[in-house]
Amino acid sequence: MTAFVADQRHRAKHGLPSLGIYSRGFNRPGSLPTKTTAFKVGTVFDGARRVLRFGMENGHSERIGLGRAFIVALPPGGVRGGRRRPFPDQVARALADQSNLATLEQLDTDNRGLRDIWEALVLTGRRTSEVLELRLECLGTYNGLPMFWHDQTKVGNYDDAIRIPDWLYQRLRARQNTTCDRFAYQHGRLPNPDERQALALFPRRIGNRRGLKGVSYSWFQAQFQDWVDQLDIDEHCVPHQARHTLATNLLRHGAGLAHIKRYLGHVSERMSEHYIHLANIDPLIEDALTAVWVTGPGSPQPGKSLSDGEPMTRQQAEAIALDLARRSTPADGGFCTYQPVVNGAACPWNLDYHNCDKFVMSGADLVYWHRKREQWHTLAERAPDTATADFLHDAFEPTARAIDGLEKALAAVGLLEQALSLDLRRPQDYFGRVWSTAFRAQDLARHNELGTPDGDA
């Protein structure tokens, strides 16, 4: 045992191949030993300790002649569970793309319901085993609402129901018909009511004459991994992340921890708390993004940071954000600091912020300016001659310096990543003035009073 422990730690330290953990399961085509890591070694140690100590406590080890010294020589693994991570945005889009889902369906050569399983996982947030072990009669409509019945065996909730989208209900109804047709082909008749209650919705192919066993997790995991490999996704992802993604989205849209606990079948709210750090963008971060601002392209030094450039504390972020709100007013792509305009007067420069030294660029609009830079580059590339392209590049050069300065200011306070992910407008809105055109409520009300009797202005 001491030699085994030393060998495992040596493999983890030097990144050597594992003795028994393979990339796609043991003996599968193309499967190779995975790299040994400290986490995998800890998992092996903890698992082996549970088995050996169970045998020792129940007298099995003594019966087979396994000494106590051998068992206690295996140390604990010290594995601690990490945070739950949802799918990154680019991975989530790839796994939900219709053409990619069609590819997943093509991998299901035996028509066991591979795509149906995946879509049920994504839309319901169930554990993978809860979907794989579904019975045929897992659907129903109540007061016109489609419901999904399942067992949450991990927490002891049996025959629990949640509402599902209508199109998922229709997809699973079609899967019910496929399973019944397979039963009729094998037995020469349709299943009776008692048999329907016991039949698996996604029956496995081998050793399952009565259709009571659902497809295995190893089968689904292998098919899922083959699909991900075909999509050429750099991120390592597993099906269970669909559950974390749904939980994060629920919290982001205002669901409380008690609701998440109930919906996902958690033992305690502490399990739901793992998702909080990803579910909501801290309001202080949003305040800080609007607080980090630099001089605009019309200033003598475009991109000069107007904050101290040092990492901000909570109090500093709040103070700067409040100061910004008092001394400026939102403009197209940033803030105007010209006090007459702030107080309600018209812009004397006709909103020419590219040449105005009173205009500042904020961290909340970094993505806006990235779009603007792409627009100018596109115009320059389509220029009829080199002279015109050079003119466009020279005209945009102060703005480009301001954008670079804004990125440096955000990086200095650790907010660059958040700014790049904060897209406040749709891409097609970036070059329209409708989003920055506003009217005073009093003027609109007065104008309405002076309109025609039928209310037309």
* In-domain check, residue 206: yes
Report whether 249 contacts 275 (CB < 8 A).
Answer: no
* In-domain check, residue 94: yes
The region, left, alpha or beta by phi > 0 then psi within -120 to 50, assigned to residue 381 is: alpha
Query: Tokens for 354?
Result: 């590219």
* In-domain check, residue 449: no
Query: Nearest to residue 349, comparing CAs of 365, 322, 331, 325?
Result: 331
* In-domain check, residue 210: yes
* In-domain check, residue 83: no
Q: Mean pLDDT throughout 226-235? A: 82
Domain stops at, among 45, 72, 99: 72
Query: Nearest to residue 220, comparing CAs of 119, 88, 97, 94?
Result: 119
The total domain count for the chain is 3
The reply to whether 124 and 263 lie within a common domain is yes
The reply to whether 48 and 176 lie within a common domain is no
* In-domain check, residue 228: yes
* In-domain check, residue 80: no
For 47, phi then psi, to 5°, come to -65, -45
The reply to whether 214 and 317 lie within a common domain is no
More confident residue, 154 or 197: 197
Domain stops at, among 263, 278, 293: 278
* pTM, two decimal places: 0.48
Predicted local confidence at residue 397, as pLDDT: 85
d(CA 118, CA 288): 39
Q: What percent of the chain has pLDDT over 90?
A: 15
Report whether 193 contacts 136 (CB < 8 A).
Answer: no
Predicted local confidence at residue 320, as pLDDT: 45
Task: Please give the C-alpha separations between residue 216 and each of 203, 219, 336, in angstroms, as whole numbers.
Answer: 9, 5, 61
Give the H or E element holding residue 281. none
Sheet holding 139-142, edge to edge: 139-142, 145-152, 157-163
The reply to whether 142 and 264 lie within a common domain is yes
The reply to whether 190 and 117 lie within a common domain is yes
The reply to whether 145 and 33 lie within a common domain is no
Predicted local confidence at residue 325, as pLDDT: 45
Domain stops at, among 44, 72, 100: 72
Q: Which domain holds residue 131?
A: 89-278
The reply to whether 44 and 94 lie within a common domain is no
Q: Mean pLDDT throughout 85-94? A: 82
Task: Specify the CATH number for the domain of residue 185.
Answer: 1.10.443.10
What's the pLDDT band for 428 if we cut at 50, 70, 90? very low
What's the pLDDT band for 441 if we cut at 50, 70, 90? low
The reply to whether 270 and 291 lie within a common domain is no
The reply to whether 262 and 350 lie within a common domain is no
Question: Which three-class secondary structure state does DSSP give residue 19?
Answer: strand
* In-domain check, residue 453: no
Predicted local confidence at residue 436, as pLDDT: 42
Predicted local confidence at residue 408, as pLDDT: 80
Q: Per-residue pLDDT tens for 161-182?
A: 888 888 889 999 999 999 999 9
The reply to whether 248 and 101 lie within a common domain is yes
Judge residue 284's burial from the number of C-beta atoms within 10 Å of its C-beta, 0-12 exposed, 13-18 middle, 19 or more buried: middle
The reply to whether 55 and 149 lie within a common domain is no
Judge residue 202's burial from the number of C-beta atoms within 10 Å of its C-beta, 0-12 exposed, 13-18 middle, 19 or more buried: buried
The reply to whether 300 and 155 lie within a common domain is no
In the predicted model, is pLDDT for residue 276 greater than 60? no
Specify the long-range contacts of residues 351-356, CB closer than 8 Å, at least 24 apart. 352/298, 353/296, 353/297, 353/298, 354/296, 354/297, 354/298, 354/398, 354/399, 355/297, 355/298, 356/296, 356/298
- Greatest mean pLDDT range, 21-35, 195-209, 267-281, 344-358: 195-209
d(CA 13, CA 235): 24
